[in-house]
Amino acid sequence: MKCKVTVLDGQKSSEFYVDSGTNLQKAILENGLQINAPCGGRGTCGNCKAFVSGNVSDITNIERKKLTEEEIQSAARLACQTFVMGDATVHIEQKKSAHIQIEGLDYQVDLSPLVRRINISLPAVSLENCKDDTERIIQSIGEKKLKFIPEALSKISNVINGEDQDLVVTCTDDFIIDIGTKLKETSDYGFAVDIGTTTVVGYLVNLVSGKIEDTISEINDQTYYGADVLSRVSYGKENPDGNEILHTKLVEQLSRMLKKIVDKKGISKENICCMSFAGNTIMMHFLMGLNPFRISVSPFTPVTTASLICSAQDLGIEYHPKCLVYLLPSISGYVGADITAGMLACSLTDKDKIQLIVDIGTNGEMVLSKNGELLSCSVAAGPAFDKTISPLVPISTIS
Amino acid sequence: MKCKVTVLDGQKSSEFYVDSGTNLQKAILENGLQINAPCGGRGTCGNCKAFVSGNVSDITNIERKKLTEEEIQSAARLACQTFVMGDATVHIEQKKSAHIQIEGLDYQVDLSPLVRRINISLPAVSLENCKDDTERIIQSIGEKKLKFIPEALSKISNVINGEDQDLVVTCTDDFIIDIGTKLKETSDYGFAVDIGTTTVVGYLVNLVSGKIEDTISEINDQTYYGADVLSRVSYGKENPDGNEILHTKLVEQLSRMLKKIVDKKGISKENICCMSFAGNTIMMHFLMGLNPFRISVSPFTPVTTASLICSAQDLGIEYHPKCLVYLLPSISGYVGADITAGMLACSLTDKDKIQLIVDIGTNGEMVLSKNGELLSCSVAAGPAFDKTISPLVPISTIS
């Protein structure tokens, strides 16, 4: 039997239908609505409180521990402990989103983007100059080791006509990935994203000047499946397609944020030459669609900590699928690519100084450097200090 | 108005519907039937003769030149010069397919396939051995430069469990492209294809022994769009989607031939680790989906003569899309990758001998080698000697 669920959130009202016996919190999340679930639906944080009328399962002892007698009288429930048994109406009240710190000190970095645009003038073919198109293009660029990817090859037939032509070639270190007639004078941009457990911050970087021209920040859409990484790992383990859902939520959010910043800036997505992503190791796993479960149990083994260059499409980022993407390397299961990025930005490999990086986020990490030697460790932070959540066992690793 | 066309070929009968005014030869080809068209539909060879009754366009002077008075009395027409105006019935008679030479002298080559399978034993993880999966795999193989492609990464989560495991890793020189639990003892095969203008011959090669274990040969499906490469190039130029049609015909045929030989041998397509393709430069262009038109006009410039490594999917070969494919390099517009393959097989770079390769096919090529210097040339052959076709202007290039 299908049950009608009406969700009221402030001025907004939504309706959807679910099977009898469906978990209320899951139903709300799966229908694109949001409800806080920092503990990942285990009934330990009490943050998914909602006022429910209609045909639902009886209140449990877990809920009685988290709700006051007055709340219970007003029909308050924990959505994660409630099952829809017939038509029901749910009042939820979302907390305002957190303030996200996205500014910091300026620092100088050498620009060396993943992707370069090279302007070339290709002379007309003649009996004396009748080499094939790819060879003439590579000669014009002057880098013999470059190879065409199949898609760039396909474009040549449409672009090159054998006459004198001004062309713009898009290359990585090793490959020619695109070719076209000369663009109007527009800038090339990169989109660099810090994927935090709680917040996702994207930076639109001018790849010619190196300046950050715009930023965008949002609460990580995965937050509704658990506030800390371990809650999300257990959501991934305990729910069918759980990891797939968390992966999809993240890449859809990245896709949406890229579109927003591109639209706001008034540029075309083709102006975005490349993207780079950093985050903790578990976020990097969700991003790549990898199962992070073994990071959560001893001896805390990631699938990979290596860097990766691939297309946005390979990750499932559909808004700009052909865009080249760089995923920074992580260090261990609990010292992630965000720390690698920080070490790079702060020149932590500088041998003349003793330096310490401290990153206190949802997880906390430190890296100490001396004489080019680096020592890192990590510990649960953020929600571990939230009085509404029973403290997690701190996990620390030394790499 | 839709017109019903009935095609009778020996015992077979087919029906399809076309718009009034559709060219009869094109309609037959586009509906998956075959009719000879060595001249590419220009009315010069007379090979698309058919006996037509019903509502079609009037006979033309071009046809009167190619048909005898007796044939005209019996309602013979050239399909390429005939347009369907209403319902019509067409009798066609296909010539038997040519005998294809697929055997030759055995010669010794050093095996060095594009793809290797490596068996590794991955020890269980522990607090002392808790490196991430990718690092432990690369360590077991002992080749530090290897990198995982995104798809192989995704498979790790499903395959590796942190216990002692025997695994089989599939690698190219640079990349790990697949990983799985140990296969049963089956052989690895390669599928090497010689894409001739007239005939396509595939060889199933045991990658462990180097032996050719089976062969398959078919008339090139493109033959029905023109017997020689220049007729096909002009078919590609003169018909909307002409090049796309020729590309699709070829990759569908390669896909079908691979499936046939795999089924016949009783192996799984996963046993095919890699494929390699060689053919003349225009065939290589059609294979890659590149427009070969500029090879047909002075100064005869190909889009590319370079070798290419890509996935079968990149080319549109859908039967075994993930299979890695190697396209041999060509030399110039009229000295193709088939000649490169021949030079390799005959050790033409051997500096101690004076050697000559002569390849007389639909096109003819020669390569002379002396002291490591190589000189090649080419000329139209095959249909150029067919009395039913007006000779083409021979084209020769020296590279």
d(CA A378, CA A229) in angstroms, rounded, equals 13
Instruction: Name the residue facing A133 among B157, B304, B315 (closest C-beta).
Output: B304
Under 8 Å CB pairs connecting chains A and B tally to: 118
pLDDT score of B396: 40
For residue A226, name the pLDDT band (cuts at 50, 70, 90).
confident
Chain A CB contacts of B153 below 8 Å: 288, 290, 303-304, 308
The CATH number of the structural domain formed by A189-343 is 3.30.420.480
Chain B CB contacts of A302 below 8 Å: 132-133
| Residue B391 CB contacts under 8 Å (≥ 6 apart), including other chains | B384
pLDDT score of A92: 87
Decide if B130 touches A, using CB distance below 8 A: yes
C-beta neighbour count of A159 within 10 angstroms: 15
Please state, rounded to an integer, the average pLDDT across all residues of chain A.
88
Report CB contact under 8 Å: A130, B301. yes
- This complex has an ipTM of 0.75
pLDDT score of B386: 63
Decide if B153 touches A, using CB distance below 8 A: yes
Instruction: Name the residue facing A133 among B147, B154, B301 (closest C-beta).
Output: B301
Chain A CB contacts of B157 below 8 Å: 290-291, 303
For residue A181, name the pLDDT band (cuts at 50, 70, 90).
confident
Decide if A366 touches B, using CB distance below 8 A: no
Peptide bond into B302 cis (omega under 30): no
**Least Cα separation, residue A318 to chain B (angstroms):** 16
Same fold, B2-92 and B116-181: yes
C-beta neighbour count of A288 within 10 angstroms: 23
Report CB contact under 8 Å: B290, A315. no
* Residues of chain B with confidence (pLDDT) below 70: 94-104, 106-107, 183-186, 382-399
Instruction: Name the residue facing B306 among A134, A162, A306 (closest C-beta).
Output: A134
The 3-state DSSP class for residue A273 equals strand
Report CB contact under 8 Å: A154, B299. no
For chain B, positions 21-80, list CB contacts with chain A under 8 A: none
Question: Using an 8 Å Cβ cutoff, are A261 and A203 in contact?
Answer: no
pLDDT for A22-51, tens place per residue?
Answer: 999 888 887 878 787 777 788 888 888 899
Name the CATH code of domain B2-92 (choices 3.40.50.300, 3.10.20.30, 3.30.365.10, 3.40.50.2000). 3.10.20.30
φ, ψ (nearest 5 deg) of residue A269: -65, -25
Best residue of B128, B129, B130 to probe chain A, by most A CBs closer than 10 Å: B130
pLDDT score of B32: 75
Decide if B277 touches A, using CB distance below 8 A: no
Report CB contact under 8 Å: B126, A153. no
Report CB contact under 8 Å: A132, B304. yes
Question: Using an 8 Å Cβ cutoff, are B334 and B363 in contact?
Answer: yes
Kindly tell me the burial class for residue A63, based on how many C-beta atoms sit within 10 Å of its own C-beta (0-12, 13-18, 19 or more).
buried
For residue A109, pLDDT over 90 is answered with no
Decide if B310 touches A, using CB distance below 8 A: yes
Decide if A294 touches B, using CB distance below 8 A: yes
pLDDT score of B383: 63
Bridge partners, residue B356, by sequence: B368
Question: Using an 8 Å Cβ cutoff, are B171 and B146 in contact?
Answer: yes
| Residue A61 CB contacts under 8 Å (≥ 6 apart), including other chains | none
Instruction: Name the residue facing B132 among A154, A301, A314 (closest C-beta).
Output: A301
pLDDT score of B41: 80
Residue among A312, A315, A294, A314 nearest A303 (CA): A294
Note the helical H segments in B19-59. Answer: 24-30
Bridge partners, residue A14, by sequence: A7
Residue among B90, B86, B91 nearest B18 (CA): B86
End-to-end CA distance of chain B: 53
| Residue B99 CB contacts under 8 Å (≥ 6 apart), including other chains | none
d(CA B301, CA B286) in angstroms, rounded, equals 15
d(CA B262, CA A290) in angstroms, rounded, equals 33
**Between residues B227 and A73, the one the model is more confident about:** A73
Q: Which two tokens stand for residue A214?
A: 């715009």
**Least Cα separation, residue A35 to chain B (angstroms):** 29
- Say what the alpha-carbon torsion angle A152, A322, B317, B215 is, to the nearest 10 degrees: 60
For residue A208, pLDDT over 80 is answered with yes
For residue A396, name the pLDDT band (cuts at 50, 70, 90).
very low
Q: Where are the domains of chain B?
A: 2-92, 116-181, 189-343
pLDDT for A337-383, tens place per residue?
Answer: 999 999 988 888 788 889 999 988 777 899 999 988 899 998 877 66
For A220-340, strand residue ranges (E) read: 272-279, 308-311, 324-327
pLDDT score of B183: 62
CATH 3.10.20.880 fits A116-181, yes or no: yes
d(CA A361, CA A191) in angstroms, rounded, equals 22
Can you list the pairs that B348-353 forms with residues at least 24 positions away whose Cβ atoms lie under 8 Å? B348/B374, B349/B374
Question: Using an 8 Å Cβ cutoff, are A326 and A288 in contact?
Answer: no
pLDDT score of B94: 64
Chain A CB contacts of B294 below 8 Å: 125, 162
**Between residues A318 and B42, the one the model is more confident about:** A318
Report CB contact under 8 Å: B126, A299. yes
